[in-house]
Amino acid sequence: MILIEAGKEIRLENVLSLRKKMTQEEINSEMLKIGNVLQDNGAKKAGPVVTATFAIETLNGQSVLDMEILIPLDKKIAVSDEYTQKPVFHIVNALYARHEGNPSTLQNTYNDMLAYINHNKLQQITAGYNVQVKDVLPGMTPDEMTIDVYIGITPNIL
């Protein structure tokens, strides 16, 4: 079982956001496209990439994810209608857990967090947000990744 902490928060400023339904291949393509948008606008990533998956469906035998990609930038840029810019992205009163290792086992971290939510009779109010703390660099394997997971919980006691 992983260590789960309550009462955490995450705050990012000047965030480029893309939300759409994509296959894994399309996600990789979009990340490259976002890199080009930043380069074309002279902007740099000012923090970790954050992703959230809202739903998964199967179309033509492929998994399609309804997801959002959030990237904090060092400056405001002009973007096409495909993207939005959020001045602030802020989740408070979140459960937090760190996943170290291959993202293919990230579901185990989510299962532990959801069991914690159920055991403590908490109410989830956001999707799970994955913060890529340690990206895979050339020469590294996915087993060396670090992902922080945040899930917003209502502070209400019902």
pLDDT digits (tens, 9 = 90+) for 62-80: 889 999 999 999 999 988 8
pLDDT of 135 over the 80 cut: no
Quote the percentage of the chain above a pLDDT of 90. 78
Report whether pLDDT(5) > 80: yes
Spatial distance between the Cα atoms of 37 and 23, rounded to a whole number of angstroms: 21
pLDDT exceeds cutoff 80 at 43: yes
Give the integer Cα–Cα distance in Å for 2 and 51.
21
Quote the CA–CA distance of 94 and 20 in Å, as a whole number. 24
Tokens representing residue 94 in the block: 């979140």
Return the closest-CA partner of residue 123 out of 91, 157, 98, 89. 157
Q: What is the pLDDT of residue 143?
A: 84
Q: Which CATH class is domain 4-153?
A: alpha beta
The residue ranking higher by pLDDT, 157 or 19, is: 19
Please tell me what DSSP assigns to residue 47: S
Q: DSSP for 73-141, please give it.
A: BSS-----TT-EEEEEEEEEEEEEEEEES-GGGHHHHHHHHHHHHHHTT--EEEEEEEEEEEPPPTT--
Q: What CA–CA distance (Å, rounded) separates 32 from 35?
A: 5
The ranges assigned to domains in the chain are 4-153
Mean pLDDT of 99-118: 94
